[in-house]
Homo-oligomer: A and B are copies of this chain.
Amino acid sequence: MQTSCVAPDKKDLGRALCIVTGASKGFGRTIAKEISLLLKPRSVLVLAARSCEKLQELKADLDSSGAGREGLVTCCVVADLATNEGVGSVISAAKEFSIKDMDNLILINNAASLGDVSRYTQSFTNMAEVDSYLSFNVSSALSLTASLLQAFPQQQGLRRCIVNVSSLCALKPFPSWVLYCTGKAAREMMFRVLAEEEPDIRVLSYSPGPMDTDMQIVARDTTADLTVKKSFVSLLNQGQLITCEASCAKLLKVLLEDSYLSGAHLDFYEL
């Protein structure tokens, strides 16, 4: 697998076509805003999510920002990534733009769902529920990644980078979080296989830590396992939840330095 030299003086991601899924809120929205500051003029940011309204708000913010005024093109795709059509519409939107003279193609696979954490493994008797969870959280990320790599094949001067927004749950089992842990473990392995296969592609699984997001609220309110639930309440009460901005800053630093081993799992707390 490819590692590259540390470039400590690298201040931006060059001219890039960058796709962020789950961009309408939480970590995805923060990534979109923060990464826009690192993109050179005439870069393109493709933002995918289900909520049209929130995407449009974000686009308005970005268009009126410094990056927007300097020529960042922001394109919103309202899509349900749980479907082939949703994945297809993100790819179609990205293909509208020429990759010629781009330095980077970056896909941030951020979209994910928590699954029902109010129940234990023994309660997941309905295959359709599990199927649906895995489809959105695993199959969709694979299909989107594969389709994008096919749409934009290897070419000289183009650096292709795939980010998997991962979790400690990809590595460690948490009681009453069977869907989330299973999905994150599956994604992690999927991207490790990709990294093994394609030495020219940069693949990163980034675990952003416990962030102060809507998902965190649901986790705190509904987790069945009391020990896990209390740990979330304690993070909140002790002011230890991470802001999306702080976590995003570490992710972007890793992407700028570009010295990670492709396929690696990097954790907020270890950076």
Contact = CB atoms under 8 A, between A and B. Distances in A.
Q: Is the interface of A mostly helix, strand, loop or mixed?
A: helix
Contacts of A188: 185
Interface stretch (A17-25, A38-46, A119-127): A119-127
A177 B192 CA distance: 11
Q: How many copies does the complex hold?
A: 2
Contacts of A84: 126-128
Interface in A184-235: 184-190, 192-198, 225
A139 interface: yes
A89 interface: no
A3 interface: no
A124 B142 contact: yes
A163 interface: no
A147 interface: yes
Contact of A193 (B83, B121, B125): B121
Contacts of A134: 131, 134-135, 138-139, 186
13 contacts: A121-B145, A121-B198, A122-B198, A125-B146, A127-B135, A127-B143, A130-B138, A130-B143, A134-B139, A134-B186, A175-B193, A181-B189, A182-B190
Interface of A: 83-84, 87, 120-128, 130-131, 134-135, 138-140, 142-143, 145-147, 149-150, 170, 173-178, 181-190, 192-198, 225, 263
